[in-house]
Amino acid sequence: MNLFHEVRGQGPALVLLHGWAMHAGIFAPLVSRLERDFTLHLVDLPGHGRSRDAGLPLTLDHAAQAVADVVPERALWLGWSLGGLVALQAAATMPERLRGLVMVAASPRFVRYDDWPQGMEASVFRTFASELQRDYRATLDRFLMLEAQGSEKMRDELRLLRAEAFAHGEPPTAALCDGLNLLEDSDLRGVLPTLAMPSLWIAGRRDRLVSPAAMQAAAALAPRASFHQISSGGHAPFLTQVDEVTDTVRAFAETTA
C-alpha cells in the first residue's frame, strides 16, 4: 500500500516530510503561504497519520523509497526533524529524484558521539521509548513540550503541536519506537560530501532537540550548502516563525530553478 499523499497548490514540486509522531497536517501554516508558489506534496510517513495502516516499515531505506514512489521526480524535498533523515537518505541514494534539499531542525546524526559533541544524549531517546509502553499520551506530551521549549512563542507552538498530534488517531506504539530508534541510531554524516544537489539547513537558535551548531557543522560538510538560523525559533520554526521560514525557502528555491 502506498503512503498517504495529498497535493496542494501550483508551481514547482515541493515535498514536505514531517517529524516523529506527527503527520503532514503539521505543516498547515507553511502550506497556506507556499501553495501560491509551489505544488506541495504532503506525505505521511509509515506508521504515522493517514499512513498508519500502509503496512510499510519505518526504516530510512523503505521510507525514502515509499515517498519517492508517490511524488514527482526533480522535486525539492523539505524534511523536518525525523523527516529530514528520510529526505537526506533520498538525496544520498536517489540524487536524480531531488532538485534540492531543505533540512529544517534536522541533523544527519541526532545523538552525541565523540566526534559529534553537538548531538543529544542517547538516553533521551531510550527513555521516551521505554516510557511509551507505560504511559503513551503523557510520554508523547513530554516530547511535544521538549519540541516547543526554547521558542519565543513556546505556548503557541505547544498548542499547535498538541492540536495536530492526534488529529488522525494515535500512531501505533511500535511505529513510534521505530522512529525513536532511527533518531538514536542513524548516522548520515558520511553522505554529506557526496550530495549532488544544493541544500539549505534551517535551524532554530533556541532548539532544544537539534543544536544549531550540529546543523551548521553538517552544512559545512556538504557542497553547495547554505545555513540559515532563525534567532527566535525552536524546534518547529515553521509554526511560529513561518514568514521567515517561507521567505528562506522561496529564496533557496529560486537558486535551484
Tell which phi-psi region holds residue 150, choosing left (phi > 0), alpha (psi between -120 and 50) or beta: left
Q: Which of 18, 48, 107, 207 is catalytic?
A: 207
Cα separation, 114 vs 219, in Å, equals 19
SS3 139: helix
Tell me whether residue 107 is one of the annotated catalytic residues: no
Ramachandran angles phi, psi of 17, nearest 5°: -120, 120
| 211 has catalytic annotation | no
Strand pairing category for 39-43 and 5-9: antiparallel
Amino acid identity of 191? V
Question: Catalytic one among 81, 107, 151, 199?
Answer: 81
Distance of CA 35 to the CA centre of its chain: 19
Q: Is 243 noted as a catalytic residue in this protein? A: no
Provide the H-helix boundaries in 135-210: 136-148, 154-165, 173-185
Q: Where are the beta strands (DSSP E) in 198-239?
A: 199-204, 225-230
Grid cell listed for 213: 551548531
As annotated, the active-site residues are 81, 207, 235
